[in-house]
Chain A
Amino acid sequence: MSQRQVLQVFEQYQKARTHFVQMVAELATRPQNIETLQNAGVMSLLRPLLLDVVPTIQQTAALALGRLANYNDDLAEAVVKGDILPQLVYSLAEQNRFYKKAAAFVLRAVGKHSPQLAQAIVDCGALDTLVICLEDFDPGVKEAAAWALGYIARHNAELSQAVVDAGAVPLLVLCIQEPEVALKRIAASALSDISKHSPELAQTVVDAGAIAHLAQMILNPDAKLKRQILSALSQIAKHSVDLAEMVVEAEIFPVVLTCLKDKDEYVKKNASTLIREIAKHTPELSQLIVNAGGVAAVIDCIGSCKGNIRLPGIMMLGYVAAHSENLAMAVIISKGVPQLSLCLSEEPEDHIKAAAAWALGQIGRHTPEHARAVAVTNTLPVLLSLYMSTESSEDLQVKSKKAIKSILQKCTYLPALEPFLYDAPPNILKHVVGQFSKVLPHDSKARRLFVTSGGLKKVQEIKAEPGSLLQEYINSINNCYPEEIVRYYSPGYSETLLQRVDSYQPLAN
């Protein structure tokens, strides 16, 4: 009888503990309770419960801790300082899968906040245990372990190197091949986080044979998985030409172009990022993308989205056009220039405008045909207004100035140059007048048009220091015309005429 009473006491205690831990775990899901929980000293209470006899209590305590640590980094630091991590790591190796999932969740929650906390996790030897968890049969455990590893590797190159040294990469590649979609997502995101820091890490990921598996999964219908895959491929391809070539050899073109038509915005963004990272290395890779019709797909993609999603696509066009004039011509005939000028005028943010200005400059700087193609769309006045406006950021001003200069140096399309005579500041005016002085001596119709449109008058009004380049250009323009016309349009001519009238003595009859 008394035995039962004794046992009852224990049962009640156990029920109380279970109830407490479950309630704390539930309360921790809501952010507004967490402050109160913290002030009530929940950490110190949860810590002994981790070592509880009953496995359910352990698991729920770990879950509660994880949720608390997830919320903000003070709590995560408290977890680290409270020496909970070694215990977690030790039991990760031993316990059942629910506990493993919860413990991996705690490690992930602690490791995501800052590099120092992630370093603390690495220091207590969690990486080896997490890698062992990656070999577990249960996909949930694998997912939790992969997630934790991904968050640790995200911060900087040393932590990534530590993760790689623990032997995580081949196991992650195996995880990608598993049938569960969530596991694939997490494994792809972990690989992406590992390979983004340095070429050596990316090479390690490639050596484990990741590219083939990643490339196979591009056609998977799940949008979040596609995001991670494309992000992983772009992080690998961005480091060097060899890696980009390896990514291309996995035959992602033209399949990747279908991702540019996806409904999900971030899939589009990551796909255009991947294409950009490949295109920026060498002209041959850009040529490959052009031959596969990538430029048209990217231009359509730019047309269909707004804001930051467009940015990688715009940069990709700039990189392709920068390599050679044939590629720039390919961009022009794919109708890229009207789209870019649309971006330039309608986007509100400065950095996107700066990217569009830079891309237009790269397209138009090669030959007079290219400059003409850019000038015809009336983008030059827009660029000029961006350069001159006081509200644009310095980066935007510098880029638009560079673009204007490089396009103007090749532009022979005079109707586009004429408005520049009136509005441009002196350093740009020099180039404009220089272009006029190159074109006018050879083209009689243009000369006539120049006079009738009032350009000659404006040129006469320009003040230039004698001996400067501007003065030479003005002289060469004046030499194209007979002296009377030049004198007629020079300022103050009416005064000189009137003076002559005043001083004229009529012949006495």
Chain B
Amino acid sequence: MREAMATLARLQARSKAVGQQYYFRNSVVDVFRKKENDAAVKIQNWFRGCRVRAYIRHLHRAAIIVQKWWRSYLSRQHYQLVVKLAYYTMKMNLYNEMAVRIQRRWRGYKIRKYCFDYFYLKEYLRAVTETNDAIRDALEEFAEMKEREEKKAALEREEKKRDYQARKMHYLLSTKQIPGIYNSPFRKDPDPWELRLQKAKPLTHQRPRVKQKHSISLTSWLACTSNRSFPRSEILPPINRKQCQGPFRDIAEVLEQRYKPLEPTLREAEPINELKEAREDLRRQEWIRNVNDNMFLPFSSYHKNEKYVPSMHSSSKYGPNSYGCQRFRDENPKKWICPKEKETRSNMDHKNKGQVNTSLIFM
């Protein structure tokens, strides 16, 4: 026990120093410890960080892979759509192109065959010029021939007149004894009248002329058969035509096909803006036909430059009067004779209606 107490006393004596030593050594050690702790923390820190980073990196990589695969999957889908679309567009472009070609050909054909044939027009105009020239020549010939005939007729008339005169004056012929007035001895050769008188037969006494009946000759100008008349239309082809020998199709079929009329679809035949086009056409026709472009103005335009006179309702300062069935009748209850309110029309109407309906039913 004493030893224990001695130790205790000794320990107590040393406790302070021990305490100090302890404290001192702990503090020194503490610094090292702290340092070491810090170092350890740092190392652990770093290590943990590395570990986490490695983990994160791993996760990253995994995520990247997943995303990569997912995105590639999406893009491939998208790409397939794009490819489909591009393919589709390409095909549609091709079809459009081909359709345009067909339509171009068809429209050209249709216009040229059914609506307007340029070459036919050219041919037609050439034919018209030829006909015109032919007609002009024929008419010239006709006019010349008429003139010649007239001249000939005039000459013949003259000739006849002179002949008649010579026949009347035949007694002026010269005889052997007496030279006639036209056969003067001083002339070299006799006057042409002398010769005419020689040729003329003296007139006989007038015999009663038998009146010739007017007869209508069938070969008169009525038949238009002379050379002067214009040629008639050509002979029509024979009705029964023999089929030509050889591998030919039936001519009726061929003609039917060649001159087949156009059978347009409804869309072509009646275009959607047909009404508008028809209106435009009508307007153009009217513009061509009308000599005067001013439309007939209605009489209301006379009042166009009149000043506007507002009505009394809007111009009075008292404003519009209240209006309606309620105001038509002047109600003055004080003037009423019977005390209770007069039946209004609507009540009466209901009553009457009921009566009327029943009467109708009985009828």
Q: Residues of A at under 8 Å CB distance from B?
A: 179-180, 216-217, 219-221, 254-255, 257-258, 260-261, 263, 290-297, 300, 322, 326, 329-330, 333-334, 358, 362, 365, 395, 398-399, 402, 406
Contacts and interface: CB of A to CB of B under 8 A. Distances in A.
Given A292-B131, A293-B135, A254 B230 contact: yes
Central interface residue in B125, B132, B230, by most chain A CB within 10 Å:
B132
Interface in B100-153: 121, 124-125, 128-129, 131-136, 139, 142-143, 146
B277 to A, nearest CB: 17
Contacts of B132: 293, 295-296, 334
Chain A residues touching B, majority SS: helix
Given A179-B216, A295-B132, A255 B224 contact: yes
B280 to A, nearest CB: 15
B222 A216 contact: yes
A334 B128 contact: yes
Chain B residues touching A, majority SS: helix
Given A261-B143, A300-B136, A402-B291, A330 B125 contact: yes
B214 interface: yes
Given A255-B224, A398-B291, A261 B142 contact: yes
A399 B291 contact: yes
A300 B132 CA distance: 11
Contact of B128 (A258, A260, A333, A398): A333
Contacts of B216: 179
20 contacts: A217-B222, A219-B221, A220-B221, A254-B230, A255-B229, A255-B230, A260-B139, A261-B142, A290-B128, A294-B135, A296-B136, A297-B136, A297-B139, A322-B288, A330-B125, A365-B288, A399-B291, A402-B291, A402-B293, A406-B288
Nearest to A258: B142
Given A261-B139, A291-B131, A326-B124, 16 more contacts: A180-B214, A216-B222, A219-B229, A221-B221, A255-B230, A258-B230, A260-B139, A261-B146, A263-B146, A293-B135, A297-B135, A297-B136, A322-B288, A334-B129, A358-B291, A402-B291
A291 B288 contact: no
B292 interface: yes
Contacts of A179: 214, 216
A326 B122 CA distance: 10
Contacts of A362: 288
A291 B128 contact: yes
Given A179-B214, A334-B128, A334-B132, A300 B291 contact: no
Contact of B139 (A290, A300, A322, A399): A300
Given A216-B222, A406-B288, A254 B125 contact: no
Contacts of B139: 257-258, 260-261, 297, 300
Nearest to A331: B128
Contacts of B136: 293, 296-297, 300
B267 to A, nearest CB: 26
B214 A326 contact: no
Given A179-B214, A219-B229, A255-B230, A329 B125 contact: yes
A322 B129 CA distance: 19
Contacts of B131: 291-293, 296
B66 to A, nearest CB: 62
Nearest to B124: A326
A255 B133 CA distance: 16
Given A179-B216, A399-B291, A296 B135 contact: yes
Given A255-B230, A333-B128, A365-B288, A326 B224 contact: no
Contacts of B293: 402
A293 B124 contact: no
Contacts of A326: 121, 124
Contact of B129 (A291, A333, A365): A333
Contacts of B229: 219, 255
The 6 closest A-B pairs by CB, nearest first: A293-B135, A296-B132, A293-B131, A261-B143, A179-B214, A261-B139
A283 B128 CA distance: 16
Contacts of B146: 261, 263
A358 B125 CA distance: 23
Central interface residue in B125, B131, B133, by most chain A CB within 10 Å:
B131
Interface string B191-222: 00000000000000000000000101000011
A292 B230 CA distance: 11
A329 B123 CA distance: 13
Interface string B209-252: 00000101000011010000110000000000000000000000
Contacts of B142: 258, 261
A396 to B, nearest CB: 11
A330 B221 contact: no
Nearest to B121: A326
A164 to B, nearest CB: 27
A209 to B, nearest CB: 16
A296 B121 CA distance: 18
Interface string B26-68: 0000000000000000000000000000000000000000000
Contacts of B292: 398
A398 B294 CA distance: 11
A134 B299 CA distance: 55
Contacts of A255: 224, 229-230
Central interface residue in A257, A362, A399, by most chain B CB within 10 Å:
A257
A250 to B, nearest CB: 12
A205 B132 CA distance: 34
